[in-house]
Structure 1
Amino acid sequence: MKIGIIGSGAFGTGLGVALALDGNDITLWGRDGDAQAAIQTTRQNPKLPDVTLPENMTFSAVLETVFSRDIILLSIPAQTLRPFLADHVTPLSGKYLVACCKGIDLERMTGPASTIRNMIPDAIAAILTGPSFATDIARGLPTALTLACAVDAAGEILQTALSTSALRLYRTTDTVGAELGGALKNVLAIASGVAIGAGLGDSARAALMTRGFPEMQRLAAALGADPETLAGLSGFGDLVLTCTSDQSRNYRYGLALGQGKAFDAGTTVEGVATAGAVRQLARDLDIDLPICTVVADLTSGQTDVMAALNALLSRPLKEE
């Protein structure tokens, strides 16, 4: 099958490798023409080192090469998704558009699949999310993800098209739940990194993960999702992975915060923007989300690590 991927970063490339090795014809688009030409020639992507790219992967800076595909994976940051869609409504209309990013749009307070539906109503909107690192996918290591599409028949088509021998996709129609699981776990990954960076230990991290999970479910329910969706791969599964692995950018960012160290400003940390969005949603919907709110205050510079930890530890005692 011919599949297009918008975004030739680590995750987009990793997905492309997995799909290409399964026999698909893959075209990836990246903004930098020189970089795409170099990847095409060397069969190496600096963002995914030690992985030789299959010959049935094509890298290009010409968008039309991807727009010609019926299935297009959107592997670009959540905060750039809406403006990208706004600039290319006509060529993307009628396509299967699968968001492969995690976050909440700060202007519209919507997740990636909802953003696609709002911007391009006649496209088939879906989101691919769950516990996964680009290197694992590219190396052919077993990975299971959630494929969420509100139209179940279309979701079944995408599930068949995008599953491989090592990449197993589970289908749901609860796109809002899948969106929120992928977004909120990044906020809790920052909190977990802060706990470890500040020397609070693994027990504190486990407590943050455990108490943070109901926050994910509460917000999901308030926004019309099924809280049980968050108990699956797109929520709990992704939460475990990103809160416990150094491969997680959000966890590493929190780790640096906890240690009082600078973090690479060029690295995308979706959890920072998401934390701010979640804090606003908690206020608007009058929902108690203490961990997410403290992370938002911390990442926006409104509090420091010790004050943030004290705010959580001084909360009233209650039943679990």
Structure 2
Amino acid sequence: MIERITVLGAGSWGTAFAKVLADAGREVTLWARREEVAEEIRTARTNESYLPGVTLPTLDATADPARALDGAQAVVLAVPSQSLRANLTAWRDLLPAGVTLVSLAKGVELGTLKRMSEVITEIAGVPDGQVAVVSGPNLAREIAQGQPAAAVVACADHERAVAVQRASFNSYFRPYTNTDVVGCELGGACKNVIALSCGMAAGLGLGANTMATLITRGLAETARLGVKLGADPLTFAGLAGLGDLVATCSSPLSRNRTFGERLGRGETLKQAQEATGGQVAEGVKSCSSIRALADLHGVDMPITDAMHRVCHEDVDPRKVGAELLGRSQKHEWS
């Protein structure tokens, strides 16, 4: 049984997941980059920078990674996908031997084109079965408010997945297990890109038919890539596939959707970033790495390609929309 858990990263999802674990009866330590944030979590039981208005359960919090990791039986990595490598490199010598590593990051690394679990096994020097990933329709604010939600804990070692499942199960958070790490990670990474496209469509004033089309065809291209890389097609019909995709594409709480909406209204990437407190949505970076991964394996991902062109080649969203509609006609499942 996993009882002592460290969460590295006190952003919105890291803080919300720490709350999930504490509400499940675990002993939780949350690492924050800034000591003032750690002190706020310890003393005021709030993290107003990321989850304003949410009261946290009793948590230990620190800005000292050595103290945070001391005695941990599981370590949750809750930092952005493109900074995971650098952060884990700094932490790896502090990790307890044999500890279960749990990734909350959703993305494909730029340059290496590696999934987050692959980055973790490389940097930490651990086998695949020591790394679990959590994915699903998990908007941080709703979960922090105790609204019912489900998720998937995926790990090549099923018993380790079950241990994480038991450690995080509570009255409002229901985790399922899966051994398809590839499918769960790709579903989580690609949905951010598709959510950008749905946001752009909303910014252009388009309606439900367009949204449903983007979600469905986005799922199709995600599944094509996943199957090519060895994922189970059924994963994409589950919580880590369709479930996460629907939540991220439809909710105003989704950073990727709201970022895309600003781009659709004509804002530049810089303007959209400034309007969101200087934060860039994961999909803006991942669209490039996912497109490169798809090209490497000969997989057609037209929506992902369109998002890359809008975000990084200054192409007008209206132009790529017209191009997507003008693609050659074909059978739905080809």
Which category of TM-score, normalised to the shorter sequence, fits these structures? over 0.9
Q: Offset of 1:286 from its aligned partner?
A: 1.6
Q: Are residue 282 (structure 1) and residue 291 (structure 2) matched?
A: no
Q: Offset of 1:41 from its aligned partner?
A: 2.2
Per-residue CA distance 1:5-50 (angstroms, 9 max, x = gap): 0001111111111221232211100111122223322221111111
What is the SS of the residue equivalent to 2:310? Answer: helix
What corresponds to 2:221 in structure 1? 215
What corresponds to 2:273 in structure 1? 264
Q: 1:31 aligns with which of 33, 36, 45?
A: 33
Q: Offset of 1:90 from its aligned partner?
A: 2.2
Q: Offset of 1:94 from its aligned partner?
A: 2.1
Q: How far apart, CA to CA, are the structure 1 residues paired with 2:280 and 2:5?
A: 25
Q: Offset of 1:62 from its aligned partner?
A: 0.8
Q: Are residue 72 (structure 1) and residue 75 (structure 2) matched?
A: yes
Q: Are residue 240 (structure 1) and residue 285 (structure 2) matched?
A: no
Range with bigger deviation, 126-135 or 90-99: 90-99
Compared with structure 1, are the counterparts of its residues 8 and 198 closer, same or farther at alpha carbon in structure 2 (3 Å cutoff)?
same
Q: Offset of 1:91 from its aligned partner?
A: 1.9
What is the SS of the residue equivalent to 1:239? Answer: helix
Q: Are residue 169 (structure 1) and residue 175 (structure 2) matched?
A: yes
What corresponds to 2:117 in structure 1? 113
Q: How far apart, CA to CA, are the structure 1 residues paired with 2:232 and 2:23?
A: 35
Compared with structure 1, are the counterparts of its residues 109 and 199 closer, same or farther at alpha carbon in structure 2 (3 Å cutoff)?
same
Q: Offset of 1:83 from its aligned partner?
A: 1.5
Range with bigger deviation, 221-230 or 288-297: 221-230
Query: Is the 2:24–2:167 contact (alpha carbons within 8 Å) kept by the matching residues of 1?
Result: no
| Percent identical | 38
TM-score for both structures, normalised by structure 1:
0.96
Q: Offset of 1:78 from its aligned partner?
A: 0.5
Q: How far apart, CA to CA, are the structure 2 residues paired with 1:34 and 1:66?
A: 15
Q: How many residues align?
A: 319
Per-residue CA distance 1:258-303 (angstroms, 9 max, x = gap): 1113313422411111100121122221211111111111111341
Q: Are residue 205 (structure 1) and residue 211 (structure 2) matched?
A: yes
Per-residue CA distance 1:62-104 (angstroms, 9 max, x = gap): 1122212111111110111111122222222421110011101
What is the SS of the residue equivalent to 1:88? Answer: helix
Q: 1:87 aligns with which of 86, 90, 93?
A: 90
Query: Is the 2:26–2:167 contact (alpha carbons within 8 Å) kept by the matching residues of 1?
Result: no
Query: Is the 2:65–2:91 contact (alpha carbons within 8 Å) kept by the matching residues of 1?
Result: no
Q: Offset of 1:158 from its aligned partner?
A: 1.5
What corresponds to 1:297 in structure 2? 309
Q: Are residue 97 (structure 1) and residue 97 (structure 2) matched?
A: no
Q: Which structure 1 residue ranges, 5 or more long, are not aligned?
A: none
Q: Are residue 16 (structure 1) and residue 28 (structure 2) matched?
A: no
Q: Which structure 2 residue ranges, 5 or more long, are not aligned?
A: none
Q: Offset of 1:228 from its aligned partner?
A: 1.6
Query: Is the 1:5–1:28 contact (alpha carbons within 8 Å) kept by the matching residues of 2?
Result: yes
Query: Is the 1:114–1:176 contact (alpha carbons within 8 Å) kept by the matching residues of 2?
Result: no
Query: Is the 1:66–1:72 contact (alpha carbons within 8 Å) kept by the matching residues of 2?
Result: no
Q: How far apart, CA to CA, are the structure 1 residues paired with 2:121 and 2:236?
A: 21
Q: Which amino acid aligns with 1:246?
A: P
